[in-house]
Structure 1
């Protein structure tokens, strides 16, 4: 049995992953951005161990969330599922890139970490031009490229951790829209599989998955210098260094 923390698990893919993991007998701690959504999360995943509240657009609330996770105890798996789409650029960067960076840097290292990216990362700007000064120019594609880079940097720097990124596909959630053409079950089951499976294909690191298969990704994500630049910028902006 594993203990798992999932950000953004009040609805969507995070909630579906939580339900599946609880049904398998794992201990799951949920996350929601406010008290109303926290109640909704527990109502929809009644077997969850607990729910933590934090607005991931706030650096201070994200730091507090990391401290609360650590206070609960050791986690085997962290799933960085929370994300926003079609919101102002500063909010996109804060939730999609900065929050997983802060949580990665501050939460005691688990055995496995899963980051939600997107096929749209292929259109992201890998150069991080002026990112330290102009986060208001971060697009959704940029943020998903950045979180892919983060996952690969973690895999490189922390070899004892299985760190991977997932493209869940364009699935029919609130974010994806009712008309999204991809398979919803496959969208969340890849997270679940990477979190707890003993398959040798799941016990890997530094990979990018789509529906349980390794997929093509932006080659620039492998650039160690850009990865380290991203870590340095996030450290500078958040005040949280990456150890």
Structure 2
């Protein structure tokens, strides 16, 4: 029985290509690490508010996925006459990243989570704050949808959707070759045609669902808010975009 156990352990050491040693009692551990190699997932962290990222003990590599905040939907202006309608454009999505970084020598990384902009009764919406993972990447928020003007039952108007957020890559040497950066999706247009209002959906995002037409807010992260819709004398705000987030997977 003892010969069998010893032979099993020696076989692992031999398969790893390590020279046998009578004095080194860590050879089985070394052999397993060499055969399995790096890449074992050991921890996950999520950031929905600004903080410092502290690598987990033993982590040597991190996959950082995230998105900037989504933009708000466009405002739908009041209608001065009966039968008139207005429809705002959809908000754009925040920029996204999927990057791999080496944690060698890294003890802390500042993480900034930009807030989504509130929807306002205006021609132009505000843009949310930038989201940053140290100096590795900056993810900009999606822009707000354009305002919908009032159109009568015998006319039409098209309201522009909003552009998605852009990204800024950090120092090239800090991003591994398998990293991905991409701009956020643009929000769809809003339409007001012959007394029918069709506001724009918010732009879709990887980590969230867009706001529905009519001023609904986005769900979870990164997506745009739905454009406002007005069928009455009162105006209608667009929906707020989703917040920003960074997910960090740590590997040994």
Query: What band does the TM-score fall into relative to the shorter chain?
Result: under 0.3
Higher strand share: 2
TM-score, scaled to structure 1: 0.24
Tell which has more relative contact order, 1 or 2 (C-alpha 8 A, sep 6+): 2
Rg larger in 1 or in 2?
2
Higher helix share: 1
TM-score, scaled to structure 2: 0.24
